[in-house]
Chain A
């Protein structure tokens, strides 16, 4: 982007210099760097998923990443736009999408899912930064209401015989009440000893990744923390009113998509607010909605729809903003 100002005859020089506008410094941050960091942060959770679920998990994750990239490539070709694979955002979408799937997800599901995420969720809105909803969340929500069985982790992962109880804690909670999840200790949950998506069960890994991203300033800590706070407080309130039916915060915090939602999904840049107070509201209400859906809604896990609802509200929330300097009235 060079200014096309004309140069006066007297001052024409043989050498051409780069002329652009201030500032002449940049802090060196790049979209691709951000995305590689997100991938790095997600790595521990994915690795543990692969260790537990083996080759099928590798298949799902790699198919998911590659098909997402291919969809992005195909779209850019068809729409005659410059290729945007390099920024890594399609890869991140594919990776997060794969992390949420059960290891036995069939190939066609992965491909449809990444199509929905990349094309419907992101590209038709004009690509990176313009999507009003988190593409991954949109894709998972659409697939979840279409193919419930595949997302029923209990049924889906029946064939696995690992060294822990293959039970999806939230499903057990929903169907049989709090007593059914007594057997889960916090340590087990943190170590991923529960059934669930490939990359969404290893609590410790996700927390570590999340903290890394927060420290690097890549995700907004306000959203993650207020999301978790919203979950804890709401779960606690429900738990206090009826401890037999409603589980306490521990299960809600470490089971299902909570942690991956807090650190990787709710924090997606373009679908979340950027001002301080809106970020807090966004996270807290998303947490509240999550527990509400889990406890009284029809879905087993509420993270996906809670985030989707808050994505929807986010443009309105962002209208709450500090007064600009010198703004009159």
Chain B
């Protein structure tokens, strides 16, 4: 059952939204979502890498021999990751500092490799780009949402702007590591409740 282009895009936003539905790419999800801004920044970086790598992999899918495909994927992905790394250093240095080693670690993010292997290697260029874009946007949404929840409760701010006023005593637990896990777990629970597939 072939999906339309729109369906390919939309599936990444809800049905297969990473990291909730596909439990992949948890590390950056947990690590960089102390604030909305970080979550968004990470998301954008992943979108870029995902779209570019999906495009290139699908372009080259007839040339790449299947035995060395993983190696080829890794080279392609790593290349774009470095591009992101350099560009981010040049134009968004503070973000680069907060995201730290998680930018280079996009290279081992299961989502990117997973999409290359599971989708781009088997589908046409346009589809692959749409798929990558959808997945990337989905990932960004998840990260932003998690970042929003953690920032609002953990620091009482949203994009750095105070939400509850000065009398609010932030629930610091949320921006600490344990809070990240618990929060993600509970959001996953909400997702399961919402989408009784």
Contact = CB atoms under 8 A, between A and B. Distances in A.
Interface in B138-195: 169-173, 176, 178, 182, 189
Given A145-B173, A146-B170, A147-B169, 11 more contacts: A112-B171, A120-B182, A124-B189, A142-B173, A142-B178, A145-B172, A145-B176, A146-B171, A146-B172, A146-B173, A147-B172
Contacts of A143: 173
Top 4 nearest A-B pairs by Cβ distance? A146-B172, A146-B173, A142-B173, A146-B171
Interface residues of B, number: 9
10 contacts: A112-B171, A120-B182, A142-B173, A142-B178, A143-B173, A145-B173, A145-B176, A146-B170, A146-B171, A147-B169
Contacts of B189: 124
A142 B153 CA distance: 13
Contacts, number: 15
Q: Give the secondary structure class of A's interface.
A: helix
B149 to A, nearest CB: 15
Interface in A129-171: 142-143, 145-147
A112 B168 CA distance: 14
Interface in A62-114: 112
A74 B193 CA distance: 17
B182 to A, nearest CB: 7
Interface of B: 169-173, 176, 178, 182, 189
Interface in A146-201: 146-147
Chain A interface size, as a band, is: under 10
Interface of A: 112, 120, 124, 142-143, 145-147
B164 to A, nearest CB: 12
Nearest to A144: B173
Contacts of A142: 173, 178
Contacts of A146: 170-173
A249 B177 CA distance: 33
A300 to B, nearest CB: 17
Contacts of B170: 146
Contacts of A145: 172-173, 176
A135 B182 CA distance: 14
A114 to B, nearest CB: 15
Nearest to B182: A120
Contacts of B169: 147
A25 B173 CA distance: 49
Nearest to A112: B171
Contacts of B178: 142
A120 B182 CA distance: 9
A168 B137 CA distance: 52
Contacts of B182: 120
A152 to B, nearest CB: 13
Please indicate which of the listed interface residues A124, A142, A145, A146 has the most CB atoms of chain B within 10 Å of its own CB: A146
Max count, chain A CB within 10 A of own CB: residue among B173, B176, B189 = B173
B175 to A, nearest CB: 10
Contacts of A147: 169, 172
Nearest to A106: B169
A9 to B, nearest CB: 47
Nearest to A150: B169
A276 B169 CA distance: 44
Nearest to B179: A142
A118 B31 CA distance: 27
A143 B172 CA distance: 9
Nearest to B172: A146
Contacts of B173: 142-143, 145-146
Contacts of A112: 171
Nearest to B174: A146
A147 B169 CA distance: 8
Nearest to B169: A147
A147 B171 CA distance: 7
A165 to B, nearest CB: 28
Contacts of B176: 145
A147 B178 CA distance: 15
Nearest to A120: B182
A143 B173 CA distance: 7
Nearest to A119: B186
A99 B170 CA distance: 23
A223 B42 CA distance: 47
Nearest to A148: B172
A112 B173 CA distance: 12
Contacts of B172: 145-147
A146 B172 CA distance: 4
A298 to B, nearest CB: 13
Contacts of A120: 182
A147 B170 CA distance: 8
Contacts of B171: 112, 146
B187 to A, nearest CB: 13
A238 B176 CA distance: 31
